[in-house]
Amino acid sequence: METKNKHKILLVEDDQTFIDLLRNKCLDSGIEVFVAENGEQGIKIALEEKPDVIITDLTMPIMDGFEFIKQLRNDVWGKKVPVIILSNYGDFDRISKALETGAFYYLVKSDVDQNDVLSYINKAIVESKS
Amino acid sequence: MKFFNFFTSLKKVLLLNIFIAFLILVSLIIGIFFLYKDTKVVLKEQLFNSLNSVVSSYVKDIDYRDVEKLSNPEMYTSDEYKRVVSTLSKIVNYYPEVSFAYIEKIQKNKEGSEEVVFLADGWSLNPYANTDSDNTNNIDINRDGLISEDDELTYITEIYENAPIKSIKEGYKNIYIDNTFHTDEWGRFITGYAPIKNDIGETVAVLAVDIRDVTFDKILGNISQLFFIFSLVVLGSVLILLSLFLVVFIKKENLNKTLDEEKSLVIGLVGHEMKTPLARIRWLLSAAREELANGDPKVNKHIKEAYDESVKGSDFSKIILDVSRIQFGKLKLNFEKIELNTMVQDIREDVEFMFREKNVLFKNEVPGIIFSADPYYFLLALKNIISNAIKYSHDGGEVVVSAKENKDTLEISVTDSGIGIPKEEREKILSGFYRAMNTKETTGHGLGMYLAYQIIKHHEGELEIYSEEGKGSRFTIVIPKK
């Protein structure tokens, strides 16, 4: 029962502090976490693992968050998967651009902590199932 | 939005400019036109005045008794004729704009009607000069280079066909300038008349002086040409001034735009740089709080990390303040004697956490050197270079600080075995504040190095960068010994 119902998320992030803290939080509440350090890796893992929710940073080396979401949305499955953006930028331009990609939530790192992110992940899972 | 504003303001200024240009051009054209008209009138009047003064002064030199004697064509050999013609010839020779100077008189013919006859002409003592067999005495009266019928000389009592008798009659009474053109077989002229009077005040004949229409037009034409050139120069200058104004305006607008963009870029970057450590601290402390409640030993690690982040944040804010001090030229150095080895040791303690984090080996190979520098800023420069070296080192790499004393200079080198710096990055480090800020690298990279470079420059030193991608970099500070 546990393996079948266990939720999976993909975290696309290049900052080790945030990776560690969010991964610990998710693991504690029984969510499996895959980590990609840039958009390119993110696409690969996303299409292989088909996580329930994807959390992505925007500024990353090799492929940034916007390009990652754009490529993700080209996939049939990837079109529907809920994406939460977790960025340090809170400017209007980035937020509106991000929401145009169909992102589920736009979270600013300094405005939330890992507990908040976890509750958004849970919300996204529930809403995408319904 | 800014872009839009820029173009609307540009458009407004452009329209205003065109409108002003149009107004100036129209008023200039009107002004020049009236000036031209007035000048023409003044010029005409001046010509009439000079004609007036010529006839009124020369008529005094003509003796009415000589004129009275000239009654038949054969008189041309007489002394009277010679005296009269020599006076007239002075007029045509002294005044190039005068075509003819002659004496005429009104008389009754056999039928009893009035006719005008010529008595003398300034062109020649010999009325037959152009018609006799001798070609050497020919006179080109109309100055066209040919001797033809147009150059006809008049003989004494020759009838003047188509004479402007009305004007001549005016000339019998008084000095008179006929300012309408009169045409006869010699051409089209404006004529001035003066009566030649006898002792009892009766007019015996009239002195007439002609100015040809082409001469008149030529003089006025010259003025038109001058005015045309003048107008072109004035209009051209106005257009050049206006376009210069426009160019300056656009340049200024562009500069303002760039400065605004750079300013907001810097504010944005500074804000972002400050937010990153704050976000980490928030997350780390959030984790630590739960770990503390649960007795999780990770709490120590996370609190230490949060502490390190707070140091990074405050270092960054210090750098920003120092950079802004440099930007506004407010950096004042206080030189003191410094022991280099001790300074490197102090820096090492300051950045200890970075060495541990990266597992980088630090080697202080500085010999005992005392030199002169600002202790706070020079330490800051060297610290930034060392932090940078650690940041770009591989895990387990090493950072070596060494120094060498030359005759006049001191060389301090920071060598790392890191990833090296691409050439364009190297240039960025030494370039301006904004470009340094605009690197996507982690906290303080561009800015810290820029600050170090500026501090070294304030010490009249240089920062030399040697780097090989994949093998590492060496930053060498060269400062003069004092």
Given B213, B232, B249, the domain boundary residue is B213
Residue entry with tokens 């008084």 = B174
Which residue, among B461, B342, B478, B457, has the nearest Cα to B405 in the 3D structure?
B478
- pTM for the model: 0.49
* Pairwise CA distance, residues A83 & A54, whole Å: 5
The minimum CA-CA distance between B281 and chain A, rounded to whole Å, is: 9
Contacts of B67 (CB under 8 A, 6+ apart): B80, B84, B103, B105, B119, B120, B196, B204, B205
Contact A62/B at CB under 8 A? no
The minimum CA-CA distance between B315 and chain A, rounded to whole Å, is: 19
Where are any strands of DSSP class E within B171-279? 176-184, 187-197, 203-212
Please indicate, yes or no, whether residues B68 and B207 belong to a single structural domain of this protein. yes
Q: Is B333 helix (H, G, I), strand (E, B) or coil?
A: coil
DSSP B274: H
Structural domain harbouring B438: 329-480
ipTM, 2 decimals?
0.87
The pairing of beta strand B472-480 with beta strand B409-416:
antiparallel
For residue B286, tell me if it sits in a domain: no
* Pairwise CA distance, residues B453 & B462, whole Å: 8
The pairing of beta strand A53-56 with beta strand A8-12:
parallel
* Pairwise CA distance, residues B78 & B60, whole Å: 21
Tell me what pLDDT residue B444 has: 44
Please report, in tens digits, the pLDDT of each residue of chain B (482 residues total).
445 555 566 677 778 777 887 888 788 888 888 888 888 888 888 888 888 999 999 999 999 999 988 888 888 889 999 999 999 999 988 888 888 999 999 998 888 889 999 999 988 788 888 877 787 778 887 777 778 777 788 888 888 988 899 999 999 999 999 888 888 888 888 899 999 999 998 999 999 999 888 777 777 777 778 888 888 888 888 888 888 888 888 888 888 877 777 677 677 777 777 888 899 999 999 999 999 999 889 899 999 999 988 988 887 788 778 777 777 777 788 899 999 999 999 898 888 878 887 888 999 999 989 999 998 889 989 998 998 888 888 888 899 999 999 989 999 999 998 877 777 777 766 665 544 554 444 444 467 788 888 889 889 999 888 888 778 889 999 999 87
Please indicate, yes or no, whether residues B353 and B226 belong to a single structural domain of this protein. no
Query: Which residue in A19, A110, A118 has the most chain B C-beta atoms within 10 A of its own C-beta, making it the best mutation to test that interface?
Result: A110
Residues of B whose CB is below 8 A from A113: 282-283, 286
By the 8 A CB rule, do A53 and A128 touch?
yes
Residues of A whose CB is below 8 A from B268: 91
Taking CA atoms, what residue in A is nearest to B270? A89
Q: pLDDT for A73-116, tens place per residue?
A: 999 888 889 999 999 887 777 888 888 887 788 999 988 999 99
* Pairwise CA distance, residues B31 & B380, whole Å: 69
- Containing B53, the helix (H) or strand (E) segment is helix B2-58
By the 8 A CB rule, do B415 and B477 touch?
no
The minimum CA-CA distance between A49 and chain B, rounded to whole Å, is: 27
Q: How many domains does chain A have?
A: 1
Structural domain harbouring A48: 2-129
Q: Is B158 helix (H, G, I), strand (E, B) or coil?
A: coil
Tell me what pLDDT residue B428 has: 67
Percent of chain A with pLDDT over 70: 95
* Pairwise CA distance, residues A91 & B165, whole Å: 98
* Pairwise CA distance, residues A108 & A99, whole Å: 14
In this complex, the residue of B268, B283, B440 whose CB is nearest that of residue A21 is B283
In this complex, the residue of B268, B278, B287 whose CB is nearest that of residue A110 is B278
User: Given an 8 Å threshold on Cβ–Cβ distance, is B279 in contact with A110?
Assistant: yes
Q: How many domains does chain B have?
A: 3
In this complex, the residue of A18, A89, A91 whose CB is nearest that of residue B283 is A18
Q: Report how far apart, in Å, the C-alpha atoms of B214 and of each of A51, B46, B89, B201, B218 are.
A: 102, 17, 21, 36, 6
In this complex, the residue of A24, A91, A113 whose CB is nearest that of residue B282 is A113
Contact A91/B at CB under 8 A? yes
Please indicate, yes or no, whether residues B238 and B171 belong to a single structural domain of this protein. no
Q: How many CB pairs under 8 A join A and B?
A: 39
Q: What is the token pair recorded at A22?
A: 């969010």
Residue type, A83: V
Residues of B whose CB is below 8 A from A15: 280
In this complex, the residue of A22, A59, A110 whose CB is nearest that of residue B275 is A110
- Where b means 16+ CB within 10 Å and e means fewer, B286-320 reads bbbebbeeeeeeebeebbebbebbeebbebbeebb
Please indicate, yes or no, whether residues B233 and B115 belong to a single structural domain of this protein. no
The minimum CA-CA distance between B272 and chain A, rounded to whole Å, is: 7
Residue A1: Cβ-neighbour burial (10 angstroms; 0-12, 13-18, 19+) = exposed
* Pairwise CA distance, residues B334 & B374, whole Å: 5
Contact A18/B at CB under 8 A? yes
For residue B298, tell me if it sits in a domain: no
Q: Is B438 helix (H, G, I), strand (E, B) or coil?
A: coil
Residues of A whose CB is below 8 A from B282: 110, 113
Given B213, B237, B270, the domain boundary residue is B213
Q: What is the token pair recorded at B76?
A: 């041309």
User: Given an 8 Å threshold on Cβ–Cβ distance, is B287 in contact with A24?
Assistant: yes
User: Given an 8 Å threshold on Cβ–Cβ distance, is A89 in contact with B272?
Assistant: yes
The minimum CA-CA distance between A45 and chain B, rounded to whole Å, is: 25
Tell me what pLDDT residue B431 has: 64
Residue type, B27: S
For residue B470, tell me if it sits in a domain: yes
Measured at the alpha carbon of residue B55, what is the angle toward residues B50 and B60, in degrees to the nearest 5?
130
Please indicate, yes or no, whether residues B69 and B201 belong to a single structural domain of this protein. yes
Tell me what pLDDT residue B106 has: 92
Q: Mean pLDDT of all residues in chain A?
A: 87
Please indicate, yes or no, whether residues B41 and B150 belong to a single structural domain of this protein. no
User: Given an 8 Å threshold on Cβ–Cβ distance, is B286 in contact with A17?
Assistant: no
Residues of A whose CB is below 8 A from B279: 18, 88, 109-110
Enumerate the H helices of chain A as residue ranges: 2-5, 16-28, 39-49, 65-72, 76-80, 92-100, 114-129
By the 8 A CB rule, do B296 and A108 touch?
no
For residue B146, tell me if it sits in a domain: yes
Please indicate, yes or no, whether residues B18 and B113 belong to a single structural domain of this protein. no
Residues of B whose CB is below 8 A from A91: 268
User: Given an 8 Å threshold on Cβ–Cβ distance, is A21 in contact with B282?
Assistant: no
Q: What is the token pair recorded at A84?
A: 């939460």
Please indicate, yes or no, whether residues B342 and B469 belong to a single structural domain of this protein. yes
Contacts of B191 (CB under 8 A, 6+ apart): B164, B167, B177, B178, B182, B208, B209, B210, B211
Within 414-473 of B, beta carbons closer than 8 Å to A belong to 440
Please indicate, yes or no, whether residues B71 and B23 belong to a single structural domain of this protein. no
Please indicate, yes or no, whether residues B37 and B118 belong to a single structural domain of this protein. no
Given B158, B186, B213, the domain boundary residue is B213
* Pairwise CA distance, residues A90 & A99, whole Å: 13
Q: CATH no. for residue B114?
A: 3.30.450.20
Please indicate, yes or no, whether residues B333 and B475 belong to a single structural domain of this protein. yes
Q: Report how far apart, in Å, the C-alpha atoms of B77 and of each of B21, B118, B135, B329 are.
A: 70, 16, 20, 102
Residues of B whose CB is below 8 A from A115: 286
Residue type, B58: Y
Please indicate, yes or no, whether residues B449 and B472 belong to a single structural domain of this protein. yes
Q: CATH no. for residue A53?
A: 3.40.50.2300
Residues of B whose CB is below 8 A from A109: 275-276, 279, 283
